[in-house]
Structure 1
C-alpha cells in the first residue's frame, strides 16, 4: 500500500468526525487524538519490529513483551479504579496467560521460534487478555453494586470474602467470556478475522491462512478463560476492606 493510499484512509476519520459533529456527540476531540496516537504508535512499533526482525535476537523480545504487558495492565487497571494493587494483579494474570500460550505454542512446535511469530502472536494474546480483564472488572463493579445487600448479608452471617462474593465472580467470569465465545460461533461466516484477512491480502494460500486463524481463535479462547479466572482469584479480596466490609466502589 502506497503512502498516498494510506493518506486517503483519513477520509474514514473525516466521516466519523462529521457524523459526531452532525449528531452533536462531542467525540471529535477524542477521535482526532485517537487517530494521532494510533498513527504514531503504529509507526513507532513498525520501526522497532523492523529492527528486531532484522537482528533475529530472541532476547530482544523480552523487553518488548514486558512493555506490552505493562501498558496493557495499566490500561485495563483503569476499569478497577479504587482497587489498590489492581494493575500489578492484572499484569500477573496477563503475564501468566502469555507464558502459558507461548510455552504451548513453542514447546509443541506449533509455531517457529522467530521474532515474527512470537511478537505477532504475543501482541494478539496480550491485547485479548487486556480486553478480558477490562470486561471482568467492569462486570464485577456492576454486579457487586447491584448485589451489595446480598453480599453484606452473607458477610453478617459469617461467610468469608470468597463465599460472599462467589456468585458475583461467576457471573463476571461468564460475562467476560461471552464476546470471545460468540466470536467463535460466527468466525468465518459473519466475520473474517484480521490475521486471516491480512495473510490473504498478502498473497498467502487461503487454507494456510485459515489454519493460522484457527490457532489464534483457540488460543484466544483459552487465554480469555485463563486470564479471567486468574484475575478473579487474585482480586476478590480487593473488593473488601481490612475489616471485611464491602468496599465503596470508586473509593480508596
Structure 2
C-alpha cells in the first residue's frame, strides 16, 4: 500500500478541523479573516478537483499538455502584471509574461533535454507549474520593488539623468538591487533545505511511495530550476522597468 494521502472521510475530517483551527485562531486574534479562511479552502477544493479532472484528460496528449502549460503561463503573467501596476494594464501583463517565459523556458529545456524529467505529460506539468510559480513570484517582487525605488529615489534618478546618463542607465543605477532582493526567499529556501524545511517536491515523492534518495534528487532538481528561473525572471523584469516598459499605474487604478 502506498504512502499517499488517503482520499475519503479521513481527508474530509482533517480539512474541516484545520479550517476550524484557522477560523478560531483568526477570530480570537481579531484578524478578520475567519470567514475568508473557510472560503479560501472551499475554493481550493473546487479548483483542485477541477484541475485534477482536467489533467487526467489533458496529460494524455502532448497538445493537451502544451495547452495547460501555456494556460499556467498566461495566468501567471496576468497575476504578476496586476501586482506590478495595481491594475494590470496590457503592457504590464506582457512584460511580466516576457520575464516569466525568459526564466521558465531554459529551465524546462534543460530538465527535459537532459532526461532528468521524463518526457511525459504527467511529469512535465507539475515541474512546469512549480517553476512558473517561482518565476511569477520573482517577477512580482523584483518589478514592484524596482517601481517603488524609482518613486522613492526619484531625485537620484533625475540627478543621474542630469549628469548625462541615458534613461535606461540612470534607471538601472536605482533599480538594479531590486533583482537581488527578490531572490532572497529562493536563496534562503535553497540554503536551508533539509535543515529547516522539507519542501513540496521532497514530501510529494515520499507520499507517492518514492524512496528518500529519489525525493532528495527531485527536490534538488526543483530548487536548482527555481533558482535559475527566478534569477532570469527578476533580471528581465528589472531591465524592462529600467527601459520604461513597465510603469506605475495611478493610485486609483
Task: With the length of structure 1 as denominator, give the TM-score of the two structures.
Answer: 0.89
Given the superposition, is the C-alpha separation of residues 137 and 240 from structure 1 closer, same or farther in structure 2, using an over 3 Å criterion? Answer: closer
Find the aligned partners of 1:90 and 1:159 in 2 and give their Cα distance: 26
Return the structure number with greater relative CO, CA threshold 8 A, min gap 6.
2
1:81 aligns with 2:93: no
> Cα 1:249–1:215, aligned 2, differ >3 Å: closer, same or farther?
same
- When the two structures are aligned, how many residues end up with a matched partner? 245
Q: What is the DSSP-based 3-state SS (H/G/I as helix, E as strand, rest coil) of the residue aligned with 1:211?
A: helix
Q: Which moved more, 1:228-237 or 1:37-46?
A: 228-237
Counterpart Cα distance in 2 of 1:215 and 1:240: 32
Structure-1 residue corresponding to 2:51? 45
Q: Which residue, 62, 67, 75 being the options, matches 2:66? A: 62
1:17 and 2:20 correspond: no
Change (3 A) 1:234 1:176: same
Pick closer, same or farther for the CA change 1:248–1:210 going to 2, 3 Å.
closer
Aligned to 1:244: none
SS in 1 for 2:128: helix
Offset, 1:131 = 0.9
Tell me the distance in 2 between the aligned counterparts of 1:148 and 1:90.
Answer: 23
The residue correspondences of 1:1-252 to structure 2 (distance < 5 A) are 1-8=6-13, 9-53=15-59, 55=60, 57-81=61-85, 84=89, 85-238=91-244, 250=251
Distance 1:161 1:250, change over 3 A: farther
Deviation of the 1:249 alpha carbon: 6.0
Distance in 1 (CA, whole Å) between partners of 2:250 and 2:243 is: 13
Between 147-156 and 125-134, the greater mean CA deviation after superposition: 147-156
In angstroms, what is the RMSD of aligned CA positions?
A: 2.1
CA contact (8 A) 1:89 1:234 kept: yes
Spell out, residue by residue over 1:151-175, the C-alpha distance to the aligned partner (whole angstroms, 9 max, x if none). Answer: 1222233322212221332211011
Structure 1 segments, 4+ long, off by >4 Å, are: none
Matched position secondary structure for 1:189: coil
Instruction: Measure, in 1, the Cα distance between the counterparts of 2:22 and 2:12.
Output: 16
What secondary structure does 2:244 align onto? helix
SS in 2 for 1:143: helix
> Structure 2: which 5+ runs fail to align?
1-5
